[in-house]
Chain A
Amino acid sequence: MYFITKYVEQILDSYLNFTVMFDTIPIGFVGSPGEKPAPAKSHVISQDALYFAPQVDFQNPKVRVRIQSISPQYNWMANNDPVPVDTPISCVAGFYNQVMPYIPLISPFFVKRQGQFTMQFTNDITAPVVGGEITWALLRLTNPINGGWDYEIGFNQGLAQQSQIPVSGQQMQYTKNNG
């Protein structure tokens, strides 16, 4: 079900161990058509984590969502039109009663310890959902080696080894950040 890319392998190699975890976050719909409740936030975890796939406990694909990580700030949703279009939840999360109740991310998302991401939901207009929960399947990464993985590994590596910019057909080899 889950596909471990080389990128994820390199992150996992930065830790001696990991723990499977499920993070359930209430959305807080009161059932009003088109409502935008306060953004749901992933729970703060004291270890680094890899988020693999979400699931919602309702079955309405017309609920919309916009996701953004807080630290560091990256927008997942790329529509930057004058009137931004949020993403139907069916494109991101599995429904609880589907054959496959999780939709894995193409590339699992790495969150540093104490990091968070927010999910701004918008309720359906015609058949609004009441309540609602989203659950993320993730790995909590424990016992980091040399500080574990960091977003800035590429940046720091680049400062030190600018001569190693990949050339034709050559893939970048990640090295550990000892800082």
Chain B
Amino acid sequence: MDEGLKKILTGNFIGSQWNTSPKLTPYGEAIAAHYPIQVPWIHSQEVSITRTSQQSFPIQVYLLRPQLYDVLICGASILDLNFPGAIDNLYLNITNEESGIPWVAPTTEIGYSPVGAFGAVVASSPPPRPVTNVSRLPEAYFLPRYTMLRFEWTLTQQQVQTNAVFTFLGIQLINHRKGFEAPKYVNMPDGSCVKVGHRLPLFITIPYGDRRFGDYFGDFALVENQQTLQFTPASDCDIEIHDVYANFLSYAAPDSTTPRLRFALKIADKPTGRDWTPGLSPIESIAGYQIRSNPQLPYPAPSVLEQDHRYGLTLQNNNPDNQLFGGTLTFRGVRRCQY
């Protein structure tokens, strides 16, 4: 296959947003078809985390205890209990305790993703009227019964306290048939037979800027009228990129001192040298953010980033007199590894 022209065979994915319909992905539906009883599954956890001045970033671990039935996790919603904007500094990584595979791609810079990349954020104050309360994960996640998920929470910026309720939404898959075992392989619409666990949600978070002092996590900045280059980490298997979330756009008014449209971005697939855009594009045309109907702005179709390839991101701050602190971009997609 011609390098750079790799295509996804149609039918194996759907758009990544919940919007008005929580469509199951073909992979998720293929798993669910093995179970005659399907019951809504909703799991909420309180998050309350504090980071004081000059404190190294705190990590708070929560273990989702084993469930009685297999679960298909499809979406997430976050209730923001802070003043507007604070929630974008709350970061998360999720790992299956059994497999040890993290959802967030390990990077030298961060290794966590902002919570808004996982689900839609509903603000508690002022009274909310979000377009969407729930965001779909890039791919349904199959959580076998009796296994645990580990949540690692952290804060990137100094704040007195950040409170939120993080909720996963899914389906309990129940089959009381004697001798039944969870499927190990499922058929995809393109005819392929893939292992359950072959498609895992993936989050790649890249700082919008460079590390300033290097003394604490999240201390990234892109100063005014400057440009920098960042790379996504290479993966050991092909990955699909579905959409992008920016954590620094939600509460900056277009006409404020930090106009959002003055941030620009260019993406290139580095090993092939193929640019996505001939020039820099406004950040809002590529990435979504809270209070949008698509908080994680989907691409027209998922893009395959081949094994060992990386995105090169040219990031630019066109503001004449404003730095950007703590900004990150999160690429969401699917890891297609056969572990």
Q: How large is the interface on A (under 10, 10 to 19, 20 to 34, 35 or more residues)?
A: 35 or more
Q: Which of A59, A91, A152 neighbours the largest number of chain B CB atoms within 10 Å of its CB?
A: A91
Known A76-B42, A77-B43, A106-B75; contact A88-B128, beta-carbon cutoff 8 A: no
Known A1-B20, A6-B29, A80-B65; contact A166-B122, beta-carbon cutoff 8 A: no
Question: Could you tell me if A59 and B128 are in contact, using CB atoms closer than 8 angstroms?
Answer: yes
Question: Could you tell me if B170 and A162 are in contact, using CB atoms closer than 8 angstroms?
Answer: no
| Complex CA–CA separation, A85 to B130 (angstroms) | 23
Within 154-173 of B, Cβ neighbours of A (below 8 Å) are at 165, 167, 169-172
In the complex, A25 has a CB within 8 A of chain B: no
Question: Could you tell me if A90 and B77 are in contact, using CB atoms closer than 8 angstroms?
Answer: yes
| Complex CA–CA separation, A155 to B35 (angstroms) | 10
- CB neighbours (8 Å) of B33 from chain A are 6-7, 171-172
Known A90-B128, A100-B20, A171-B34; contact A5-B29, beta-carbon cutoff 8 A: yes
| Complex CA–CA separation, A107 to B75 (angstroms) | 12
Within 101-122 of A, Cβ neighbours of B (below 8 Å) are at 103-107, 109
Question: Could you tell me if B22 and A3 are in contact, using CB atoms closer than 8 angstroms?
Answer: yes
- CB neighbours (8 Å) of A174 from chain B are 36
Within 28-64 of B, Cβ neighbours of A (below 8 Å) are at 29-30, 32-46
| Complex CA–CA separation, A106 to B100 (angstroms) | 27
- CB neighbours (8 Å) of A98 from chain B are 129-131, 133
For the complex formed, measure the closest distance between the CB of A13 and the CB atoms of chain B, giving whole angstroms: 13
Q: Which of B86-94, B182-190, B297-305 contacts A (4 or more CB under 8 A)?
A: B182-190
For the complex formed, measure the closest distance between the CB of A50 and the CB atoms of chain B, giving whole angstroms: 11
For the complex formed, measure the closest distance between the CB of A88 and the CB atoms of chain B, giving whole angstroms: 4
Question: Could you tell me if B180 and A165 are in contact, using CB atoms closer than 8 angstroms?
Answer: yes
What are the 7 closest A-B residue pairs judged by CB atoms, nearest first? A158-B177, A154-B36, A169-B193, A168-B185, A91-B77, A91-B167, A78-B43
Can you name 20 A-B pairs with beta carbons within 8 Å?
A: A1-B20, A5-B29, A79-B43, A79-B44, A88-B165, A88-B167, A90-B77, A91-B134, A97-B129, A99-B129, A106-B24, A106-B72, A106-B75, A107-B40, A109-B39, A154-B176, A165-B181, A171-B30, A171-B34, A172-B34
